[in-house]
A = this chain, B = another copy of it.
Amino acid sequence: MTGIRSCPLSKHMPPAHPFDFDAMADDADADKLKEECGIFGVIGLTDAANFVALGLHALQHRGQEAGGIVCHAPEQGFNSARRFGYVRDNFTKQSLMETLPGPLSIGHVRYSTAGSKGPTQIRDVQPFFGEFAMGGAAIAHNGNITNANALRRELIERGSIFQSSSDSECIIHLMARSLQRTIPERMEDALRRVEGAFSVVAMTRSKLIGVRDPLGVRPLVLGQVGDGWVLSSETCALDIIGAKFVREVAPGEMVVISEQGVESQFPFRPQKPRFCIFEHVYFSRPDSIIGGRSVYETRRQIGVELAREAPVDADIVCPVPDSGTPAAIGYSQESGIPYAMGIIRNQYMGRTFIEPTEQIRNMGVRLKLNVNRALIQGKRVILVDDSVVRGTTSRKIKEMILDAGAAEVHFRIASPPTAWPCFYGVDTPQREKLLAATMSEDEMRDHLQVDSLRFVSLDGLYRAVGEASGRKADCPQYCDACFSGEYPVAPSDMIEQGFEIKAAE
């Protein structure tokens, strides 16, 4: 979910704390698309919030800015905690965890804002909670509501008071105003008014609920551990608590889990699924399993496809760490060119160092990445990266490699050119900032001043995710709008603000 960018309403309440957002701008990772949330829920385990904390830690790559947990215990009722920063720095303190009792809990991690959007406030941190006549409910949302501005305007006119700048808050207000009598019914009611992509984990006093939008754009899986049930964005968060993977929640499915077990419903009009293909490319963790496939293996396979589509004569294949590593291994194995760690990542980074003075900035400080100089010297180097967004990092890396004495630099990118923004829960720059939106592959190569630059083809990518015959142009198996510009749901808020989507070809 995203903040409302160009909402015409008056400016909302500012952050209640002196958080240094500049300190969070992360140089090398700034040039990536950012998954905007991870969600996790548990029912039926003693001290469920402890498990949620572990699950969120395993999903930290999906959101580093902040995290929140809500839980319910029969005697203590609903309790919650929201914190800026990493899960490991907040939700590991016994003094805090003791305030989160009960067998039912959900949680959320949130992306790190980058660039132009206003700072997040602690009020924006999910899960959101609402007290209804029939009791309280909390929701955690991964995705983005593409008609949030219109919904917000309508709700305010009817007298709802918004507490955050988050689009996800619309859901809880829609639920509050629903005429239905149970919370799951109100949730259906609310989600039918919502456009866009959503995977939602919610809870009442006695139920854990999971929902995926009809296209199934964002992931959501079901697991089981002991007597308890788990909902999670990815399987890697099942592993951390020793839970067994049961199945994916299906696109358009709502699961309601209580003491009586798991009930499944399909409240929305059925549609052909369009899972986000970029989850395979970058967002998900390599040790997660999506659609029965290891994400690591898919990425290695992209490298294999890339070696077939775009071979080049060279001495070593180096990944841009860490996201390019599996594809580089695949490229090396397919091409027979030795794999080598030419670039070393400083494991103590995470958030960027503030460069303290102009003097230092001009010296070309390398805070996060360093070249393995003795290895690179005189070599023809193939660099494998997962994607190119603005191209700023690619350019810096190329310079580092050349400074270290490389004879040639060849970029191989494990995804097609990213030419369109995502409106379904990913933080992308405006279209004109995307390198591929304004340049051809050759222009990009010249812009980056490298010896060669090649992207995997869209068909190659589809083959790597298991679609042997590639992309079905009339009916794509995935949401690939960031590559193709074909948006499966019209982003109505953005269109209202003047965004022009690609005409159907």
Contacts and interface: CB of A to CB of B under 8 A. Distances in A.
B16 A296 contact: no
Contact of A92 (B129, B173, B354, B366): B354
A353 interface: yes
Interface in A72-126: 76-82, 86-88, 92-97, 99, 122
Interface residues of A, number: 110
Interface stretch (A215-223, A335-343, A378-386, A456-464): A335-343
A437 B356 CA distance: 48
A236 interface: yes
Nearest to A343: B287
A157 interface: yes
Contacts of A293: 374
Contact of A242 (B10, B178, B242, B363): B363
B242 A344 contact: no
Nearest to A239: B370
B16 A286 contact: no
A344 B159 contact: no
A354 B236 CA distance: 19
B14 A79 contact: yes
A131 B164 CA distance: 10
A92 B363 contact: no
Interface string A313-354: 000000000100110010001000011110010111111011
A7 B353 CA distance: 38
B47 A356 contact: yes
A64 B348 CA distance: 9
B159 A365 contact: no
A372 B92 contact: no
A158 B225 CA distance: 39
A346 B57 contact: yes
Contacts of A136: 10, 12
A120 B181 CA distance: 31
A176 B80 CA distance: 26
A473 interface: no
Given A10-B135, A79-B14, A341-B325, A93 B354 contact: yes
Contacts of A60: 346, 348
A478 interface: no
Nearest to A49: B356
A453 B375 CA distance: 30
Contact of A372 (B77, B287, B346): B287
A285 interface: yes
A240 B57 CA distance: 30
Contacts of A370: 58, 236, 239-240, 287
Contacts of A357: 46-47, 50
A277 B353 CA distance: 32
B176 A160 contact: yes
A483 interface: no
B353 A350 contact: no
A11 interface: yes
B9 A131 contact: yes
Contact of A57 (B61, B131, B348): B348
Contacts of A122: 16
A133 B161 CA distance: 10
A107 B359 CA distance: 20
Most buried by B among A122, A242, A287: A287
Interface of A: 9-14, 16, 18, 23, 45-47, 50-51, 53-54, 57-58, 60-61, 64, 76-82, 86-88, 92-97, 99, 122, 129-133, 135-136, 153, 156-163, 172-173, 176-178, 205, 225-226, 236, 239-242, 285-287, 289, 293-294, 296-297, 300, 322, 325-326, 329, 333, 338-341, 344, 346-351, 353-354, 356-357, 359-360, 363-367, 370-375
Pick the 10 closest A-B CB pairs, nearest first. Answer: A11-B77, A294-B374, A159-B177, A242-B363, A287-B344, A159-B176, A60-B348, A50-B356, A130-B161, A92-B354
Given A13-B79, A242-B365, 5 more contacts: A54-B360, A54-B367, A287-B344, A287-B370, A329-B340
